Chains A and B, each alone.
Chain A
Amino acid sequence: MIRLERRPAPSRLWAALTPALAVFATMIAGGLMFALLGKPPVEAIRTIFWDPLFGEFAFYYRGQLLVKAAPLVLIAIGLSIGFRAGIWNIGAEGQYIIGAILGGGVGLAFYPMTGWYIFPLVVLFGAIGGWAWAMIPALLRVKFNTNEILVSLLLVYVAEQILASMSLGLLRNPDGNGFPGSRNLSAYEATANPELIAGTGAHWGVVAATIAVIFAYILMTRHVLGFQIKVSGEAPRAARFSGVNPDRLVIFCLGISGALAGLAGLFELTGPAGQISIDFNQGYGFTAIIVAFLGRLHPVGILLAGLLIALTYIGGEAAQTNLGLPSASIDAFQGMLLFFLLAMDTLSNFRIRFGRAKVA
């Protein structure tokens, strides 16, 4: 009989090991899934995890890595801060959309003017858009004690409708021959978010993500606020006893994650995506949840996890073209990864004992 026994303190060794083990288990289970779909399992796994980095076309894929990782890391850093405090913003997808719309809208209002100040302004409004959208669940939670999980998530569907409305109406390109979608913001010099170093894929979003990682690291390890966030998640009553104001923490955590999601949306809009269109959002806001957990809610871990998940995106695209693997299999793959991670998390909090069954 297998029993679980709580460890006196969480094991640091297992906490560091479990993500690697979970990735390994996912590779095996994913291989099985591909085999069931009639695809060569080993080749599929190699195409997803190996070829983008070291294969024939790695020079192209490597640049894509940072492009995909930047929004994931940016959003996941914000989410992880809230998750640490037990504040569950799962509507980052909506904040990502609204950030892009507000920032993009401000940028389009300046068209066709030029000026150095336009891009910073656009970035600022991207952050404000995401922040404001996250303030809805935050204020409802503080004022009325409404569950922020449900509200933030339901607002994603509202944001998607606003996105559709914007790309068909208010922000539609007047020179677009009636096609839905806004002007191309990456082609408009004042708002463009170009590749900063050729071949790396690094745009301003990558810079922002790097800054966010450093900022979050300092916040969580050195700053009183980070300490209060951790205590609130671990023991809410102890946090209140020590003097933490739970309402202010909700506002801060949802605000920061909303602002970072808004930034991610804006950098995507002004860079890789280019225009506001109906299918602008690609699910980064949801995938970032996986990234946050895979990175153990730790800033450095999230950085690594973001790169890994970006790799599965790119590898998945490659497997789609080379092996005819359905694109959805990557989503299932990522979901599976999260399952394995949560299952193995048990190892860091509990010892597994193989004991006798109860004497009956």
Chain B
Amino acid sequence: MDLSSINPVLLVASIMVASTPVLLAALGELVVEKSGVLNLGVEGMMITGAICGFAIAVNTGSPFLGFVAAAVGGAILSLIFGILTQSLLSNQVATGLALTLFGLGFSALVGQSYVGIRPPATARLDIPVLSDLPVVGGMFFNHDIMVYVSLALVIAVWAVLKFTRVGLILRAVGENHDAAHALGYKVVRVRLCAIMFGGACAGLGGAYLSLIRVPQWTEGMTAGAGWIALAIVVFGSWRAPRVLLGAYLFGGVTVLQLNLQAAGLAIPVEYLSMSPYLITIAVLVVMSASKGRVRAAAPACLGRIFHAST
């Protein structure tokens, strides 16, 4: 085993890259859950975004259009969930699962002709001075633009939820949909918007995997990232800065185990590969064991069906 082969600059840089897909998806799901909706279809929306982004980027040669297409693809898929759960009042757990199953099948279908192709490279953001700084420049200021987009999104989601009227209405709908309805807010419309925002974010996260992180298309390439994003929302107790922390912790574990694999640690590869999932479970357990805290932070109407009786 040779730990000296691990370069700390590359390690931090790759943690940021590894964390970005789950961070994007988790931020989207955070907004969805704040509005009182539990969408378990994150995995399906991510993989749909991955293939939509990949296909468009390959066909147009523009990674930017690819990301746009991924966001649109994720949002459209989430709209199916939205219509089913908000207008037709179907069970959110079952519909979310259906979304995941459908997304996995649909993406495999569309992706058949894209296996083994390399996508066009996404430009790195070259920041004058900062990118040239020794060590720090390589760690933080030499990434593709999506890394910074995801970080900006953390701040945006946090600020909108905390300081703006839109954020207040969103939280109100998630806390007590009957009261919000009685005050004249359009519960279903607010939730549909939140769901589509969540879909777009998950789509971006998926495209980040297929266009930048991997970068190529393989069937089922999200490998549970959507489920981990769901867990990270719980870990972050529905707060954007803590979701960032959760995503980077997960990214850290992922990158570390990959580095350990490369360094030839005496633990079999399979056990290292399962460690991100095991650690996510452990974190979930710790969070839920601290009684009351999680339940108090969770939006009161999470997963409950809203039907205006009048």
Write the B267-298 contact mask toward A (1 if CB under 8 angstroms, else 0): 01011011001101100110011010000000
A335 touches B105 (CB 8 A): yes
CA–CA, A37 to B110, complex, Å? 9
Given contacts A157-B274, A169-B268, contact A328 B112 (CB under 8 A): yes
A147 touches B284 (CB 8 A): yes
CA–CA, A161 to B231, complex, Å? 20
Q: Does chain A have a CB within 8 A of B80?
A: yes
Task: Kindly list chain B residues whose C-beta atoms are within 8 Å of the C-beta of A225.
Answer: none
Q: Does chain A have a CB within 8 A of B234?
A: yes
Q: Does chain B have a CB within 8 A of A145?
A: yes
Write the A308-337 contact mask toward B (1 if CB under 8 angstroms, else 0): 000000000000000000101111111110
Task: Kindly list chain B residues whose C-beta atoms are within 8 Å of the C-beta of A217.
Answer: none
Write the A137-152 contact mask toward B (1 if CB under 8 angstroms, else 0): 0001001111101110
CA–CA, A165 to B267, complex, Å? 11
CA–CA, A6 to B307, complex, Å? 9
Given contacts A161-B271, A338-B98, contact A144 B288 (CB under 8 A): yes
CA–CA, A37 to B105, complex, Å? 14
Q: Does chain A have a CB within 8 A of B89?
A: yes
Task: Kindly list chain B residues whose C-beta atoms are within 8 Å of the C-beta of A286.
Answer: 101
Task: Kindly list chain B residues whose C-beta atoms are within 8 Å of the C-beta of A149.
Answer: 40, 93
Output the nearest chain B residue to A141 by Cβ-Cβ distance: B288
A4 touches B307 (CB 8 A): yes
Write the B110-147 contact mask toward A (1 if CB under 8 angstroms, else 0): 01100000000000000000000000000000000000
B105 touches A144 (CB 8 A): no
A146 touches B105 (CB 8 A): no
Q: Does chain A have a CB within 8 A of B102?
A: yes
Task: Kindly list chain B residues whose C-beta atoms are within 8 Å of the C-beta of A208.
Answer: none
A161 touches B273 (CB 8 A): yes
Given contacts A6-B307, A326-B109, contact A338 B227 (CB under 8 A): no
Q: Does chain A have a CB within 8 A of B175?
A: no
Given contacts A90-B97, A339-B98, contact A350 B89 (CB under 8 A): yes
Q: Does chain A have a CB within 8 A of B91?
A: yes
CA–CA, A343 to B86, complex, Å? 11
CA–CA, A286 to B40, complex, Å? 14
Which of B223, B227, B270, B309 touches A162 (beta carbons < 8 Å)?
B270
Task: Kindly list chain A residues whose C-beta atoms are within 8 Å of the C-beta of B234.
Answer: 147, 150
Q: Does chain B have a CB within 8 A of A154?
A: yes
Task: Kindly list chain A residues whose C-beta atoms are within 8 Å of the C-beta of B89.
Answer: 4, 346, 349-350
CA–CA, A162 to B275, complex, Å? 12
Given contacts A158-B274, A161-B270, contact A146 B285 (CB under 8 A): yes
CB distance from B78 to the nearest CB of A (A): 13
Q: Does chain B have a CB within 8 A of A100?
A: no
CA–CA, A328 to B48, complex, Å? 14
A342 touches B90 (CB 8 A): yes
Write the A253-294 contact mask toward B (1 if CB under 8 angstroms, else 0): 000000000000000000000000000000000110110010
CA–CA, A322 to B89, complex, Å? 40
CB distance from B269 to the nearest CB of A (A): 8
Task: Kindly list chain B residues whose C-beta atoms are within 8 Å of the C-beta of A335.
Answer: 98-99, 101-106
A151 touches B284 (CB 8 A): yes
CB distance from A169 to the nearest CB of B (A): 7
Output the nearest chain B residue to A169 by Cβ-Cβ distance: B268
Task: Kindly list chain A residues whose C-beta atoms are within 8 Å of the C-beta of B291.
Answer: 145
Q: Does chain B have a CB within 8 A of A131?
A: no
A332 touches B106 (CB 8 A): yes
Output the nearest chain B residue to A345 by Cβ-Cβ distance: B90
Q: Does chain A have a CB within 8 A of B230?
A: yes
* Residues of chain B at interface, number, CB under 8 A: 47
CB distance from A147 to the nearest CB of B (A): 7
Output the nearest chain A residue to B40 by Cβ-Cβ distance: A149
Output the nearest chain B residue to A154 by Cβ-Cβ distance: B277
Task: Kindly list chain A residues whose C-beta atoms are within 8 Å of the C-beta of B105.
Answer: 328-335
CB distance from B197 to the nearest CB of A (A): 21
CB distance from B268 to the nearest CB of A (A): 6
Output the nearest chain B residue to A336 by Cβ-Cβ distance: B102
Write the A201-226 contact mask toward B (1 if CB under 8 angstroms, else 0): 00000000000000000000000000
Given contacts A149-B40, A336-B102, contact A161 B274 (CB under 8 A): yes
A164 touches B270 (CB 8 A): yes
Q: Does chain B have a CB within 8 A of A155?
A: yes
Q: Does chain A have a CB within 8 A of B216?
A: no
Q: Does chain A have a CB within 8 A of B243?
A: no
Q: Does chain B have a CB within 8 A of A153?
A: yes
Write the B225-258 contact mask toward A (1 if CB under 8 angstroms, else 0): 0011011001000000000000000000000000
Given contacts A151-B284, A350-B89, contact A331 B112 (CB under 8 A): no
Given contacts A165-B270, A339-B80, A342-B90, contact A289 B97 (CB under 8 A): yes
Q: Does chain B have a CB within 8 A of A125?
A: no
CB distance from B106 to the nearest CB of A (A): 4
CB within 8 Å of B: which residues of A?
4, 6, 37, 88, 90, 140, 143-147, 149-151, 153-158, 161-162, 164-165, 168-169, 286-287, 289-290, 293, 326, 328-336, 338-339, 342-343, 345-346, 349-350
17 further A-B pairs in the complex, CB-CB below 8 A; given A151-B284, A328-B109, A345-B88? A140-B288, A149-B40, A153-B224, A154-B224, A154-B280, A161-B273, A165-B268, A168-B270, A326-B108, A328-B105, A329-B109, A335-B99, A338-B102, A339-B80, A342-B95, A343-B88, A350-B89
CB within 8 Å of A: which residues of B?
40, 80, 84, 88-91, 93-95, 97-99, 101-106, 108-109, 111-112, 219, 223-224, 227-228, 230-231, 234, 268, 270-271, 273-274, 277-278, 280-281, 284-285, 288-289, 291, 307, 309
| Closest CB pairs A-B (n = 10) | A335-B102, A331-B105, A328-B108, A332-B105, A165-B270, A161-B274, A338-B98, A144-B289, A342-B90, A161-B270
Q: List 16 A-B contacts (CB under 8 A).
A: A4-B307, A146-B281, A147-B284, A149-B93, A151-B284, A154-B277, A155-B281, A157-B224, A162-B270, A165-B270, A286-B101, A329-B105, A331-B105, A333-B105, A335-B104, A343-B90
